[in-house]
């Protein structure tokens, strides 16, 4: 099937993969906590591996195995803690695991050892950190609920759609041309407006969060989602690559598709936990 998709135009690829992706996401998030868990565990591992492959473009050699193990254990531990199957103290074990990365580098005999260590841990923090925090949204009320997670995804899609439509039709003033020439302030304003409207609609049907919380989440996504996109664009520019990967035909890689989510989730969790 992937060979057939690769023969289609970029637009056709984007539409087909987009529809399939949305179907899988909504189904996995809503069906059960375990299908949600497996979906995002897979994304976590693929995202970390993709990040490490990007680093190799510059001759950096992260410890892939160690990073994948630490990232997976963090993701799994947070999920089981939120399910009250593990004690919170288990997270303290992640800290010595991170320091084991330093020790392992002694025996790898690779050039730039401390650069390798830094980017090994950065891959865990950048990908596994936000995906792990996503569990806190799913268990805001003590039991798993798909509403906050799906709501965040819908708001990100709304912000992206609004930014694309308004940017294409009214965009004149560049948001940060040095990093992403296509993004404009008009597009950002349109994305923000659509996200806020969708946030209001979500509050009518998704009752896990109050209206002010949905609006707050929409604003945070509008702000930090686009910043996440810019950060990932900066990463790709610094490495001289167009896409972070080729896993999703017409859409690039995992980091290309989830850059907004990765940057926005920590701020969303902090907002909902405090307010």
Write out pLDDT tens, residues 7-64: 555 556 666 767 887 899 999 999 999 999 999 999 999 999 999 999 998 899 999 9
Q: How many domains does the chain have?
A: 2
Does 92 lie in the same domain as 163?
no
Quick one: pLDDT at residue 242? 82
Does 189 lie in the same domain as 98?
no
CB 226 within 8 A of CB 191: yes
List beta partners, residue 180: 176
Averaged pLDDT, 153-171 = 95
Kindly give, in sequence order, each residue whose CB lies less than 8 Å from that of residue 122, ignoring residues fewer than 6 positions away: 51
* Residue 19 forms part of a structural domain: no
CB 144 within 8 A of CB 195: no
pTM: 0.91
- 118, with CB counted inside 10 A (0-12, 13-18, 19+), is middle
Kindly give, in sequence order, each residue whose CB lies less than 8 Å from that of residue 252, ignoring residues fewer than 6 positions away: 242, 243, 244, 245, 246
Averaged pLDDT, 138-165 = 96
* Residue 139 forms part of a structural domain: yes
Distance of alpha carbon 28 from alpha carbon 39, whole angstroms: 7
- Percent pLDDT > 90 in the chain is 81
* Residue 219 forms part of a structural domain: yes
Quick one: pLDDT at residue 2? 45
Does 174 lie in the same domain as 135?
no
State CA 15 to chain mean position distance: 20
Does 240 lie in the same domain as 153?
yes
Q: Which residue has 């806190």 as its token pair?
A: 136
Quick one: pLDDT at residue 243? 76
Distance of alpha carbon 147 from alpha carbon 149, whole angstroms: 6
3-state SS assignment for residue 223: helix
């Amino acid at each position: 099937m992937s060979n057939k998709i690769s023969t289609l135009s970029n637009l056709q690829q984007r539409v087909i993969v987009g529809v399939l992706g949305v179907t899988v996401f909504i189904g996995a998030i809503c069906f059960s906590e375990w299908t949600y868990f497996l979906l995002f565990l897979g994304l976590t591992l693929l995202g970390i591996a993709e990040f490490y492959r990007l680093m190799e473009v510059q001759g950096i050699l992260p410890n892939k195995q160690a990073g994948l193990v630490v990232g997976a254990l963090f993701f799994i531990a947070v999920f089981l803690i939120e399910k009250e199957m593990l004690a919170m103290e288990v997270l303290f074990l992640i800290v010595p695991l991170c320091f084991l990365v330093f020790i392992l580098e002694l025996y790898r005999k690779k050039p730039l050892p401390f650069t390798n260590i830094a980017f090994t841990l950065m891959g865990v923090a950048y990908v596994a950190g936000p995906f792990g925090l996503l569990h806190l949204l799913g268990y805001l009320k003590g039991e798993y609920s798909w509403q906050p997670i799906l709501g965040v995804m819908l708001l990100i899609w709304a912000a992206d759609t609004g930014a694309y439509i308004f940017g294409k039709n009214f965009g004149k003033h560049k948001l940060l041309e040095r990093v992403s020439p296509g993004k404009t302030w008009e597009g950002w304003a349109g994305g923000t407006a659509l996200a806020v409207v969708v946030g209001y609609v979500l509050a009518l049907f998704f009752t896990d969060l109050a209206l002010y919380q949905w609006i707050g989440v929409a604003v945070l996504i509008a702000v930090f989602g686009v910043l996440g996109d810019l950060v990932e664009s900066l990463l790709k520019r610094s490495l001289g690559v167009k896409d972070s990967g080729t896993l999703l035909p017409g859409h690039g890689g995992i980091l290309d598709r989830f850059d907004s989510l990765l940057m926005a989730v920590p701020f969303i969790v902090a907002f909902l936990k405090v307010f």
